[in-house]
Structure 1
Amino acid sequence: MAKRLHVDRFMLGVCYYPEQWPEHLWADDFQRMRELGFSIVRMGEFAWSIFEPEEGRFTFDLFDRAIDLAHQHGLKVILGTPTATPPAWLTHKYPEVLNVSREGVVYQHGQRRHYNYNAPIYRALCARIVEQLASHYKDHPAVVGWQIDNELNCEIDVFYSPADHAAFREWLKRKYGTLAALNEAWGTVFWNQTYSDWDQVHLTRPTVSQSPNPHQALDEKRFFSDSAISFAKLQADIIRRIAPHHWITTNGIFGHLDSHRLTEEALDFISYDSYPNFHTIWPDEGPRPLFDRRWSWHLSVARSISPNFCVMEQQSGPGGWVNRMAAPSPKPGQMRLWTYQSIAHGADMLLYFRWRTAVFGTEIYWHGLNDYHNRPNRRLAEVARIGEELSRIGERIVGSRYVADVGILCDYDNEWDGEFDVWYGPLMRKSVLAWCKALQRNHIPADAVFIRPETTVGDLARYKVLIYPHPAILTERVAQVLSDYVQAGGTLVFGCRTGYKDERGHCRMAPMPGPVAGLCGIEVADFTLIGPQQTPPVIHWMDARLTDVAAEGFNDILRVTAGDAEVVAVYKGDYYDGEPAVVRRRVGQGQVVYYGAAFHEEAARQVCRLLGLQSPMSGVMDLPEDVELAVRAHEPGGARYVFLLNYSHAPQSVRLHQSFADVLTGRSVHGRVEMAPFDVFVLASGEPAARA
């Protein structure tokens, strides 16, 4: 069962750095936090040299005073272990702790996350500072929990120090046992890469075409993940031994890290850092972007790890370092919108980043609630409104869970392998985003559902529809679980490039889609990449009620192998004109659909229509595309809350076909209701969760 945050009231707070501010400001800061409705602060995650100014000498005076004062003002405290920023004395004396690029460039002191996870001396020094902190603060009445490090694998998620190369060899020895097994798994007979001694084995290194062995590259990412998990668990085990009454989390979900296993092995729940205005820096691919609304998908990933989680950093102002990531200021109302976006998706604790904008350092443009002048501003006024609202409704919402009957299947192996393999990785990212757009704009709540080695059919049974866009790596065990899911009544949708690789990344010597060919009742007779200068053919539906769509990205030309498989669409155009493009087969009580191309938003919409998939609020309310629908419910049979989030810069009209209680205002709403730009409704509802 997934680990989740357990609180009896909503916890609203802020990140605070007492070491960066004159002490005479602290009392006023904490007092104003309380007036805004805050109950918790995070501190300490970048303060190693404050706690240990020189090796082996520990001092806690500054944070003792800060935490004592926070406690006097009724604030709880989350302490961060300060291991994301090793101090200068440490990196100077022990340069082996520094991270190294694949090309051999050593990353020096001067920023953050410049260390590696595997240097023995760094692990020992981290264990010592964590033990000192946990022992010192284990009984402080204000301290309730710990954040391990800060944003594991942020900034950089690859590690090539000598310590990492050595640790990788040991990791491979445990995994494969012998060089013969390693050579077979990596296919080293190709291009004469065969290893005859363990000392010859390394993490990937520069090659003439920057194209290392793909199987080595996949194992490398698994190793990076295991290293980060081991590093976090080292710290968590110490805290759990010394302060077992404190909870443990870490913040952020970043690359080359199995955050599900991290949480299972080291944490009590996951925390996420939500910055929706990053859409201005990393915009959506393709037409009709979701902009800040896309962060709902990222929150869904956090929710897949912990159904109730913490947002440790919620955007509260314009974002930017001095040299990059320049995001505009949230418009009036957007901070409130983004706060409720996080809550709608399962956050039961939320802290804004940060209390006051730094006046020195790299993040002088990463604005917090307070500006440099420390005077009232519109962001503080907006957060005061949020604090007042959550003081009234927070207890009613906490513990309820996001409700969805539809899931988009994901897994780490395909995510990591698809970074390197351009024959399906870009398609996967494109198709997931397309499905997010189609489901969001059709007001169909959806979960991110991660396929794990231990996933069972029981884990999937609550979903009526699952979409697995392009799982190139698909094991026989997972294929059987998916088959059992369909047999039991589920609907499963695959896209092209499914099932042709095993867990090593080897291509199977069997017809595609490999272990699900029998389930789908098809084989891939031919296939082609759609090149950038080529016009994709059209997918023509047999059902006249459906609209033809372009068959983008990649085309699997299908051959039906089962008598009960139904061709529901064919290709129009190119040399495979008239050949099957989409095949549906009813199996047991369920059905499986194989869609032979990559998805775009309109294609996903047509598949929804093919399946008869509707919003759970269809017939209950009419919603415009720019308004997101989310439902949280207390189960079983408990109160249900419908979140309506307007991401538009313009008013949006909503029609409610029954009366609802708007818990934010206390008024009853019915009929046509106007939502202001960036407005939020939280409606009490007794309607069913969803229907397909």
Structure 2
Amino acid sequence: MPRASTHRWPLRPAATDGTARRFEYGADYNPEQWPKEVWREDIRLMREAGVTLVSLAIFSWARIQPARDTWDFAWLDEVMGLLHDGGIGVDLATATASPPPWLTTAHPEILPVTATGETVWPGARQHWRPTSPVFRSHALRLVTTMAERYGDHPALVAWHVNNELGCHNIYDYSDDAAHAFRTWLRSRYGGIDALNDAWGTAFWSQRYTDFEQVLPPRLAASHPNPTQQLDFKRFSSDALKDYLRAEREVLTRITPGVPVTTNFMVMGETKGMNYADWAAEVDFVSNDHYVHPGPQGLDELSFSANLTGNLAGGKPWFLMEHSTSAVNWQPVNRAKEPGELARDSLLHVAHGADAVCFFQWRQSAAGAEKYHSAMVPHAGPDSELFRSVAALGATLRDLAPAAGTERLRAPAAILFDWESWWASEQDSHPSSRLRYRQEALDWYSALLALGVRTDVVPTGTPLDGYGLVVAPVLHVVPESLAKELTRYVDGGGHLVTTYFSGVVDEHDHVWLGGYPGPLRDLLGIRIEEFAPLQDDERVTLDDGTTGTLWTDLVTVTDPATEVLTRYASGHAAGRPAITRRAAGPGSAAYVSTRLGPGQLAGTLTRLLDAAGVSGELPRAVRGRAELTVRTGPDADYWFLVNRTDEPVSLDGVTGEVVAGTAAGADSGPVLPPRGVIVVRRPAGT
């Protein structure tokens, strides 16, 4: 069972100047990449930039422990001392992310194995099996040694477990993994008959008579058992969570007063780790995020920061990594435009981040990430990038009164479900083109464009109080979830769900009797057959919008169900495309095709009006600026982020501008392109 989250924030109760609140600011710091004479210069520049916190020793195992029984802490002792003397706190990593060459040479059995049986060799990072007892023994020895040496160090403010757990080793198909998978299955199902029932092993003669016959879903002659695949995804997330717990337990035993975290990766298509399940395992939530270029790049950043803030339960969290400018791992690595560094950072702050950190402090001169931007670029401190870094540090100091405030609950929500993400994109489905997170992001973008403040919340979050809840591609619907959604609607809530929702239970078994399974009565519809579209197919709806990817052959089964839109073309012509069933003061709507963010406005407007949900900004500003609100006992802080490359007048927005890049105007503040302002208002207004 997960422990109850302690949420230990702030990391330090007060700044050195006595200020009661502040935002932490900094980066990953890798002094081992540089000669000693650079270290003091680093501290001087950190102070100039306003840095208060660095993450240290993330990839330092080989330097700290150059051989099995040899330790070298002199360099780390010196760096810790320099940072403390400079007033800079340390989020100290346990250094277990990348095993040293001596360990993998002596114990190649710790190396991961792919589904096709290939060994993942050293030469990069994260070349270790989450279930390897040999790796865990050596790693926890290192963690113990680190905790005993630095637990009382005055620079230490937090422990950083490993680094980006699962980024490159989430799925391991080795014999260690097979053994651990069987143990996990025994715990989940109790007996082999229950596993057979859950996995539907009557199909293709897959019935097991003993757990020892069960393997991970390695390379097979055809599609592996889908429930086996889903359970292996669950197991793999749990295996890494168990490893996180193992390190955390060592740290909390030796240093009970020091909070423990690890950096999640809530961004893009990083989906292997169920962070909703992990969040209670850390003392405060941390996240890494990198912008993905494209028309929804800024919206994706907001979506990820929003979800992270809700994983943290609305409490402050730690943005542990993002980029000052270009990254090095995309096909084309574009430098950020003026204003984007501050805008991207402050949008995370708007969604609850109380620490803003980058990868990394000083841009590497060698190695795989030498073209990844940093706070101090290759050009050095005499650069526009470093000046932007220092300016952001000053902005965060101006914003200090907002530190420690919580995210204000939004009037609308998007329900996000990791298991539906995993299951809906498995093989042998009606369409291999479906992308769960993209559909969720499309709805989020559409709500942003309408100026409606929206929370992105994990399944299991209480929905009472949200006027509208969108549950896109809610593919996996256990009976308990169906009952909760029905209760929400019966209580006056307004639910929207989409194609390929309500199709399977928690075992990935289809709900029989017609789709969408346990949501049929709630929605007042029945679907006998899916009708996905080819890549070049489009369907027209009678409101003039165009659908792609998917259609359903919908039959209305309840007279209370209203057809909002019908198909005007294709084999579903004349049949319902979008429906809404009234249920007392609430309602449940169904959208049977992918409209994309640009075409959802009409449908969303009707659904929002029915739910009584609207934007809080003046109409002329809605969609052009994103509003996020942090609330404290004395004031609310409205973060307004320009979603365009044009100036945006904030005529009608009242309050005191306390930070950001606002230009003055007679009618009110003006957001410059890619700009951000923060407005302080009386609490509750």
Query: Is the Cα contact below 8 Å between 1:148 and 1:248 reproduced in 2?
Result: yes
Partner of 2:48: 35
The structure 2 residue matched to 1:305, chosen from 301, 311, 316, is 311
Q: In 2, Cα distance between the equivalents of 1:667 and 1:533?
A: 46
Partner of 1:663: 658
In structure 2, relative to structure 1, the CA distance for the partners of 1:65 and 1:298 (3 Å cut) is same
Q: In 2, Cα distance between the equivalents of 1:4 and 1:679?
A: 31
Shift of 1:325: 5.1
Partner of 1:259: 275
Shift of 1:525: 4.2
Partner of 1:554: 550
Query: Is the Cα contact below 8 Å between 2:8 and 2:259 reproduced in 1?
Result: no
Partner of 2:257: 245
Partner of 1:235: 247
Partner of 1:544: none
Amino acid of the residue matched to residue 231 of structure 2? D
Partner of 2:455: 447
The structure 1 residue matched to 2:80, chosen from 35, 52, 67, is 67
Amino acid of the residue matched to residue 488 of structure 1? G
Shift of 1:167: 0.9
Task: Between 485-494 and 252-261, report the one with greater CA deviation.
Answer: 252-261
5 Å matches for 1:198-597? Answer: 198-209=211-222, 211-253=223-265, 254-264=270-280, 266-276=281-291, 278-279=292-293, 283=294, 289-306=295-312, 307=314, 308-320=316-328, 326-421=332-427, 422-423=429-430, 426-452=434-460, 455=461, 459-536=462-539, 538-540=540-542, 547-597=543-593
Amino acid of the residue matched to residue 208 of structure 1? A
Amino-acid identity (%): 30
* Per-residue CA distance 1:222-265 (angstroms, 9 max, x = gap): 0100100000000001111111111111113243211122221x
Amino acid of the residue matched to residue 449 of structure 1? V
5 Å matches for 1:90-239? Answer: 90-209=103-222, 211-239=223-251
Q: Secondary structure of 1:566's match?
A: strand
Long gaps (5+) in structure 2: 11-20
Amino acid of the residue matched to residue 163 of structure 1? D
Query: Is the Cα contact below 8 Å between 1:660 and 1:670 reproduced in 2?
Result: no
Q: In 2, Cα distance between the equivalents of 1:687 and 1:441?
A: 26
Long gaps (5+) in structure 1: 284-288, 541-546
Query: Is the Cα contact below 8 Å between 1:251 and 1:270 reproduced in 2?
Result: yes
Q: Secondary structure of 1:644's match?
A: strand
* Per-residue CA distance 1:182-227 (angstroms, 9 max, x = gap): 2221112212222233332110111234x21111110110010010
Shift of 1:68: 0.8
Q: In 1, Cα distance between the equivalents of 2:332 and 2:242?
A: 34
Shift of 1:658: 4.8
- RMSD after superposition: 2.2
Query: Please, what TM-score do these two structures have when normalized by structure 2?
Result: 0.92
Shift of 1:561: 2.4
* Per-residue CA distance 1:310-341 (angstroms, 9 max, x = gap): 110121132115xx654121122211111111
Shift of 1:686: 4.5
Q: Secondary structure of 1:567's match?
A: strand
Q: In 1, Cα distance between the equivalents of 2:6 and 2:621?
A: 34
In structure 2, relative to structure 1, the CA distance for the partners of 1:561 and 1:98 (3 Å cut) is same
Q: Secondary structure of 1:659's match?
A: coil
Q: In 2, Cα distance between the equivalents of 1:332 and 1:582?
A: 42
Query: Is the Cα contact below 8 Å between 1:345 and 1:402 reproduced in 2?
Result: no
Shift of 1:489: 1.6
Amino acid of the residue matched to residue 35 of structure 2? P
Query: Is the Cα contact below 8 Å between 1:465 and 1:490 reproduced in 2?
Result: yes
Amino acid of the residue matched to residue 631 of structure 1? V
Q: In 1, Cα distance between the equivalents of 2:113 and 2:48?
A: 46
In structure 2, relative to structure 1, the CA distance for the partners of 1:444 and 1:269 (3 Å cut) is same
Q: In 2, Cα distance between the equivalents of 1:344 and 1:579?
A: 43
Shift of 1:603: 4.1
Shift of 1:672: 5.6
Shift of 1:79: 0.4
Amino acid of the residue matched to residue 319 of structure 1? V
Q: In 2, Cα distance between the equivalents of 1:442 and 1:175?
A: 44
Amino acid of the residue matched to residue 541 of structure 2? I
Partner of 1:286: none
Q: In 1, Cα distance between the equivalents of 2:113 and 2:318?
A: 32
1:600 matched to 2:596? The reply is yes
* Per-residue CA distance 1:526-584 (angstroms, 9 max, x = gap): 43112234332x333xxxxxx43223322223222223222222222234332222222
Amino acid of the residue matched to residue 284 of structure 2? F
1:25 matched to 2:31? The reply is no
1:617 matched to 2:616? The reply is yes
In structure 2, relative to structure 1, the CA distance for the partners of 1:609 and 1:317 (3 Å cut) is closer
Query: Is the Cα contact below 8 Å between 1:403 and 1:632 reproduced in 2?
Result: no
Q: Secondary structure of 1:228's match?
A: helix
Amino acid of the residue matched to residue 224 of structure 2? P
Q: In 1, Cα distance between the equivalents of 2:430 and 2:599?
A: 20
Q: In 2, Cα distance between the equivalents of 1:58 and 1:589?
A: 67
Q: How many residues align?
A: 660
Query: Is the Cα contact below 8 Å between 2:117 and 2:173 reproduced in 1?
Result: yes
In structure 2, relative to structure 1, the CA distance for the partners of 1:510 and 1:688 (3 Å cut) is farther
